[in-house]
Amino acid sequence: MTCTCRSLLFLLLVFAGWASALQPFRVKESLPALPRGWTAKARARQDHILQLQIGLRQADPDLLYDILANVSDPRHTQYGQHLSKHEVDELVRPHQMTAEAAAAWLAHHGIPEATISRNSAGDWISIQVPVRLAEAMLDTQYQEFTHDDGSSVIRCTSWSLPADLHEHVEFIQPTTIFGRPKPHRSFIHYVPPGITLSNPTNCSEAVTPDCIKQLYGIGSYRANASAPNRLGISGYLDSYANMNDTTYFYKQFVPKAYEADFSFGVEFINGGLNSQSGAESSLEGNLDVEYGGSMSFPIPNTYYSTGGSPPFDPSEGTPQNTNEPYAEFLSYILNKTNDELPTVLSTSYGDEEQTVPYSYAQGVCNLFAQLGARGVSVLFSSGDGGVGDGQGPNQPSSSCISNDGTKTAMFLPFFPATCPFVTAVGATMGVPEVAATFSGGGYSNYFSRPYWQEGAVQAYAPHIPSSYGALYNSSGRAYPDVSAQGNNFIIQQDGNLTTGYGTSCAAPTFSGIVALLNDFLISRGKAPLGFLNPWLYIVGSVGFNDITVGNNPGCGTDGFSAIDGWDPVTGVGTPNFPMLMNLLSLSL
């Protein structure tokens, strides 16, 4: 009797295994049309190596968002009680059934356990497989696609999974991702040699650390170099921060930092580099470090250089890192303990939201939420294209269309700025400050509006021209949240002074100021600000200079206008440091 039952059970298990292996494929994700600018060129080489990122469904996806709101809402008793790495890992861990289903599927395809890498929460898996195997696993064909700008990627337009895996797997990339994050910096201009700034504290002439400090009332605030605090700056796309340029910048513009031998640390992720040969140093890296560091000196700052980016040659058979940008960096940083994490993380990259597959955008945004729950303020530049993708007011409306196959006219929101769990930084220019025309802003089509910005965004609604109709999504997460100067920045680059503009200038500047606010709190034994947005909209906005003039044209329209109060051009405004300090003092 017992014996029969056992055998029966055994047979049932074997049958279940077979059944799962034989479950028919069902399409998991499919693009109705190729994103604008891309053309299919050829079938991908079968031996090309793909690094697949697999996102598993979390046991209770709402739990993280619930706790994040609690620890970030200044009215809540749990405010400031950030979670440890272990606590967050446990919150987001997939159900055991999910982990087992994924493991069985990988084993079925002969992927050795030793080659599977998992993050510590177990919700992201990374494997390296040849195209041939990926095609069998996903019942698809990979192709080489080229972009009008000459770059190439290996992608597919549709992929499938056995039906019973659908509920366990959220996304697999690179499959349908055509987004390629680009630095949010549009233009550089060499300052003629020998130029002297007649008044380096006047931001109307050119933007320097001194004039920003004066404009935002930072004055002589001195941060505590030995408090546990750190500003993180992430660099992708082989963007390098040059030590000598930065030192030389400090020598000219922040003598105290120069005298203190102030510099930045570098951490390398996924083969990232930080070449110091002048020719390769990049404007983006220099700008981010020079302004983030100037604002927050002497708080230590770290440049995180993540490799694995284009350009690459898909015709080579050698293993290539995919240009999926965020997973490697985020697994690296989320693997740190809280005392190794920066309190503020500034990133000046992004891409059109609709070129990032919905499921992947949700997965990446969830990782930013995890950083927030652990007390990190995650800031992103809002983009340099106003409501479009940067071709100005005369941008043909034909380029502002949806990718869903219907070619519906629409503004072009930018991700990750549209993720509700990052703080998006727009740009202003001049004194008195007005909105910068390039300041990216609008409404997400992927993320619904979080409660903390509902009032502010509703108050703006009557100011939107009715002619915009369905060009924007009135129920979406609206951005930017804040802004800072972003035009005519003086940057030391490759041995020369140059000027640059973009929300890339605004994000590290604003981030440096958040690091100072954290210094104020940490020095008084308080938790750092962490995820900023609930605090920002609920109590923080009075600590900002409201920007009420200017607009962000694009897609053949004038874009949105800056008004009294929050607007999708400059957010709640630019920092008023003394007011912000007063606000924080009230909470001590």
Known binding residues for Ca(2+) are 546-547, 565, 567
Span of 140-148, 201-209, 384-392, 539-547 interacting with ligand NAG by CB under 6 A: 201-209
Number of residues this chain uses to bind ligand NAG (CB under 6 A): 26
Angle at 377 between CA 345 and CA 289, to 5 degrees: 25
Burial class (CB in 10 A: 0-12, 13-18, 19+), 165: buried
Asked whether position 332 contacts ligand NAG by CB under 6 A, the answer is yes
Query: Two tokens at 344?
Result: 């503020």
- Residue 224 CB, shortest distance to ligand NAG, in Å, is 4
Would you give the distance in Å from CA 33 to the centre of its chain?
25
Pairing between β-strand 414-415 and β-strand 476-479 as defined by DSSP bridges:
unpaired
Asked whether position 265 contacts ligand NAG by CB under 6 A, the answer is no
- Cα 381 to Cα 288, 297, 378, 494, 509: the distances in Å are 11, 21, 10, 24, 10
Beta strand segments in 156-197, E:
158-162, 169-173, 182-183, 187-190
State which of residues 331, 483, 485, 503 lies at the interface with ligand NAG (CB under 6 A): 331
Q: Please list every residue from 116 through 175 that binds ligand NAG, using CB under 6 A.
A: 119
Residue from 73, 123, 238, 288 carrying the catalytic annotation = 288
Please say whether the beta carbons of 515 and 509 come within 8 A. Answer: no
Question: Is 288 labeled as catalytic in the residue annotation?
Answer: yes
Span of 30-38, 104-112, 141-149, 331-339 interacting with ligand NAG by CB under 6 A: 331-339
Q: Please list every residue from 508 through 567 that binds ligand NAG, using CB under 6 A.
A: 523
Asked whether position 20 contacts ligand NAG by CB under 6 A, the answer is no
**How far is 268 from 248, CA to CA, in rounded Å?**
23
- β-partners of residue 124 are 55
Beta strand segments in 465-577, E:
476-479, 482-485, 489-493, 496-501, 544-545, 574-575
Binding mask 417-456 for ligand NAG (x = CB under 6 A): ----------------------------x--x--------
Q: Please list every residue from 208 through 247 that binds ligand NAG, using CB under 6 A.
A: 224, 226-227, 244
Asked whether position 67 contacts ligand NAG by CB under 6 A, the answer is yes
Angle at 71 between CA 511 and CA 378, to 5 degrees: 25
Q: Among 331, 376, 355, which residue's Cα sits nearest to residue 418?
A: 355
Nearer to ligand NAG, 221 or 332 (CB): 332
**How far is 255 from 223, CA to CA, in rounded Å?**
16
Asked whether position 202 contacts ligand NAG by CB under 6 A, the answer is yes
The two most distant CA atoms of the chain are separated, in Å, by 97
Residue 129 CB coordination number (10 Å)? 19
- Residue 291 CB, shortest distance to ligand NAG, in Å, is 18
Asked whether position 90 contacts ligand NAG by CB under 6 A, the answer is no
Nearer to ligand NAG, 445 or 483 (CB): 445
Nearer to ligand NAG, 286 or 445 (CB): 445
**How far is 507 from 503, CA to CA, in rounded Å?**
6
Asked whether position 199 contacts ligand NAG by CB under 6 A, the answer is yes
Asked whether position 96 contacts ligand NAG by CB under 6 A, the answer is no
Please say whether the beta carbons of 374 and 121 come within 8 A. Answer: no
Binding mask 483-502 for ligand NAG (x = CB under 6 A): ------------xx------
Asked whether position 205 contacts ligand NAG by CB under 6 A, the answer is yes
**How far is 162 from 25, CA to CA, in rounded Å?**
4
Asked whether position 190 contacts ligand NAG by CB under 6 A, the answer is yes
Annotated binding site: 546-547, 565, 567
Q: Please list every residue from 295 through 324 that binds ligand NAG, using CB under 6 A.
A: none
Question: Is 328 labeled as catalytic in the residue annotation?
Answer: no
Helix, strand, coil in percent for the chain, rounding step 5: 35, 25, 45
Question: Is 284 labeled as catalytic in the residue annotation?
Answer: yes
Query: Two tokens at 358?
Result: 């919905």
State which of residues 363, 476, 508, 571 lies at the interface with ligand NAG (CB under 6 A): 476
Span of 94-102, 128-136, 380-388, 468-476 interacting with ligand NAG by CB under 6 A: 468-476
One-letter amino acid at 15 equals F
Query: Two tokens at 170?
Result: 């959220």
Asked whether position 70 contacts ligand NAG by CB under 6 A, the answer is yes
Asked whether position 255 contacts ligand NAG by CB under 6 A, the answer is no
Asked whether position 248 contacts ligand NAG by CB under 6 A, the answer is yes
Residue from 359, 483, 504, 511 carrying the catalytic annotation = 504
Nearer to ligand NAG, 201 or 320 (CB): 201
Catalytic residues: 284, 288, 504
Residues in contact with ligand NAG by CB under 6 A are 66-67, 70, 119, 190, 193, 199, 202, 204-205, 224, 226-227, 244, 248, 331-332, 335, 445, 448, 473, 475-476, 495-496, 523
